[in-house]
Amino acid sequence: MSPSFVRFGTDGVRGVANTQITPEFALALARATARAFRASEIVIGCDTRRSGGMLEAASAAGAAAEGADAVLIDVAPTPAVAAECARRDAPGIVVSASHNPFADNGLKVIGPGGHKLDDALQARIEALLSDGPAPVDVPVGASVGEVRRDPSALERYGDQVLAALEGRGLSGLRIVLDTANGAAHRVAPAVLDRAGAEVTTIGDEPDGTNINDGCGSTAPELLARTVVDGGADLGIALDGDADRLVAVDHRGRVVDGDHIIALCALDLRARGRLADETVVVTVMSNLGFHRAMAAAGIDVIETPVGDRHVLDALQRSGAALGGEQSGHIIFTEHATTGDGLLAALLLTDLVVRSGRPLADLADEAMTSLPQVLHNVAVSSPMPDVTDRISDELAAVVADLGDDGRVLVRPSGTEPVVRVMVEADAVERAEGCAERLVAAVEAVASRGGA
């Protein structure tokens, strides 16, 4: 991938490591980041992929070449990097492809306040990438940046997450934790153990190639079986960079981000801590979530897909809670970005305080409408896909009326178009989705026609 053609997606830049996301590109991105922020230091963390060390080293070299110290915190969750960026008031780079397969990798730039980049900053970094290295005034001698490691950053992050419990604990709660063989494989079990939970950990033996492989938040089947077979109270599954989660109740049923956000919104409001009685979610949230919030008198702000859009709306509105159905959840009182471990602590704290099973709480919080999601592979980007299938899209929306919802959008991280349909019956949702999939495939086969 040439720097002149790079574009940020909904969560940084991703691709196949060493062919698309190369050391040369990582070095260039770090240099551009240092120039964009005029940084004196850049925090760098990575997940457990084999290519992580390679790209971490290249990123560090790029930072140092621009006169910024590279502060390496090694294998660490995305929110741990964000927390360190906030503490140091420095930008950061996360070397991770999140939930993607291990052969992929990616680079996420985090701003000095610990927040993901807005569109203007992304455009600035893209422009600097296109310009290439600065031709003059490059640092020399003592002005070249240092590369150093800070092994205490992960411990500080763990302390910060635990502080959200405000002195409460999880004593007596039996949890199965799946760390996806990813970035939180050390810190997450340690934090839950310190909170007093009885923790059984799976997906905690990374070998460089098994991140997200049949485990983690995108593959919760193993977690569900382990919870049921072991008689645990609930399960928590993180993804590769631990910025999101899904839960599993004692019956083995998945509790997704919509349910977790609904539970936390109702709990925060009951305790007088839901600012303006408002919550922020994306267009992917289930219609059942919207109905549940309306019934509870909680306002909902809807954003495009991507937790940076959620965060932007949280900042503009002053709301305290937001997130995505996929499990990115942001608690603005405690963090600057989505944090799977933090959300796990606050969810399990809610369960302990209620004295009731997660299954009962989730059932009462909301009822999901049947949802069908198809990923339609495309050979080239289709940002105008909704315009190109407008007739069929309008017909499906009219057929569903108030009984369902439709969303068609190009993915920001993969070469696919996502077709999502919700309806009062799964058969109806599937039929409508198939119509839209056929329409997308038809226009995709015609290319630019």
Rounded CA-CA distance 96/101 in Å is 11
Q: Is 354 a catalytic residue?
A: no
Catalytic residue among 51, 98, 217, 326: 98
Report residue 126 as tokens. 């893209």
The DSSP secondary structure of 57-109, one letter per residue, reads HHHHHHHHHTTPEEEEEEE--HHHHHHHHHHHT--EEEE--TTS-TTEEEEEE
Handedness of CA 60, 66, 69, 71 (dihedral sign): negative
Beta sheet of 405-410, edge-to-edge order: 371-377, 416-422, 405-410
How many other C-beta atoms can be found within 10 angstroms of the C-beta atom of residue 352?
20
For residues 290 and 265, the answer to whether their CB atoms sit within 8 Å is: no
Report residue 110 as tokens. 């985090």
The DSSP output letter for 166 is: T
Cα separations (Å) of 218 from 101, 215, 221, 233, 289? 11, 7, 9, 21, 21
Q: What backbone phi and psi angles, to 5 degrees, belong to 180? A: 60, 20
What residues contact residue 233 under an 8 Å CB cut-off, 6+ apart? Answer: 173, 174, 175, 250, 351, 357, 358
Q: Which amino acid is at 350?
A: L
How many other C-beta atoms can be found within 10 angstroms of the C-beta atom of residue 160?
20
| Active site (catalytic) residues | 98
